[in-house]
Amino acid sequence: MQKLVTIFGGSGFVGRYIARRMAKQGWRVRVACRRPNEGHFVRMYGAVGQVEPIFANIRDDASVAAALSGADAVVNCVGVLAPSGKNSFEATQAEGATRIARIAADEGITNMVQISAIGADADSDSDYARTKAAGEAGVLEHQPGAIILRPSIVFGPEDEFFNRFAGMARLAPVLPVVGPDTKFQPVYVDDVAAAAELALTGKAPAGIYELGGPDVDTFRELMQTMLKVIRRRALIVTVPFFVARIMAAVLDFGQKATAGVLHNGVLTRDQVRNLAKDNVTSGDYPGFKALGIEPSTMETVLPGYLWRFRPSGQYSDIKDSAKNMKT
């Protein structure tokens, strides 16, 4: 009989890669998300009926229980970079994760993977980092055998990091950067999914894993790498932290004053706090090496999806080659 895994946030950036891998493993996959009508693409990851998007609200016990009914395992990928409406950091990353773990335990499910983040810290001044830690604690309270994955910044074709800045570089000759000397250890999205696959199939011991890629670079160096890949020039301008805090405060106020009508998707005060801290593995927890995974480099992945931001898009290589031809 096929096993069934419920993936909360399974149509999102990381979740869809986990869904695809579990379908290839022969599992039935229930993709629990807020807008299942926008997640029909996940059906293509398996045979007819193998992957099914369903509605779920992680703020509601009954909704979570329905999504977990009959499941053998659960993955929680839900997280927010900036709160919006009822989807606050506390409601999604702390209370939501705890609710999923608690109800999964009630359903007799003991196989759980929680997608957290490097920097999760109960004492952090960042609401994002603090609620990530609270979510981990809630998961472990109800699921002591859970596996928690803490990736650094995740990159891949659908990411909101390299794609966002590459889009900016295509439109303007200046790239504003907050915290240019802050270090990151970007990790390829499918490598995170591979770690989750090992966890769900019982090939990884329980515990916390910090997942960082093979490259450790500053924010400025990441932007330089991105510009090199898309073959564009842009002036990388440092935005001082005190200026960034003022900008973020104004934008946050605008969102609050309009009751969320104007969503601050540019820069929040909480993001400024995070940008002041390095986002790399601490060495206190096992990582990819312990899982037997060789993480992918940015060099091998970025050109595969950032080519569309090049001046000539998919024809850039042809044009460059033509320049070298002798007439």
Percentage of residues of the chain with pLDDT beyond 70: 96
- Give residue 189's region: left, alpha or beta (phi > 0; psi -120 to 50): alpha
Q: Per the domain annotation, does 240 fall within a domain? A: no
Q: What one-character DSSP code corresponds to residue 295?
A: P
Contact 91/59 with Cβ under 8 angstroms? yes
User: CA–CA separation, 253 vs 230, rounded Å?
Assistant: 35
Contact 33/55 with Cβ under 8 angstroms? yes
Q: What is the domain-level CATH number for residue 98?
A: 3.40.50.720
**What's residue 174's pLDDT?**
96
Query: Which residues, 6+ apart, have CB-to-CB distance to 319 below 8 Å?
Result: 312
Q: Per the domain annotation, does 249 fall within a domain? A: no
**Residue 321 or residue 57, greater confidence:** 57
Q: Per the domain annotation, does 179 fall within a domain? A: no
Q: Per the domain annotation, does 128 fall within a domain? A: yes
Q: Per the domain annotation, does 319 fall within a domain? A: no
pTM over 0.85: yes
Look up residue 137 and give its two tokens. 């604690």
**Residue 87 or residue 152, greater confidence:** 152
CB atoms within 10 A of CB 276: 15
**What's residue 324's pLDDT?**
65
- Longest CA span, the chain: 74
Residue-wise pLDDT for 197-229, tens only, equals 999 999 999 999 999 999 999 999 999 999 999
For the CA atoms of the chain, what is the radius of gyration? Answer: 20
Q: Per the domain annotation, does 148 fall within a domain? A: yes
Three-class DSSP category at 277 = coil
110 is in which domain, residue-wise?
A: 4-157+185-213+278-295
**What's residue 323's pLDDT?**
63
Domain count, the chain: 1
Tell me how far the alpha carbon of residue 213 is from its chain's centroid. 14
Q: Per the domain annotation, does 37 fall within a domain? A: yes
Q: Per the domain annotation, does 13 fall within a domain? A: yes
**What's residue 85's pLDDT?**
82
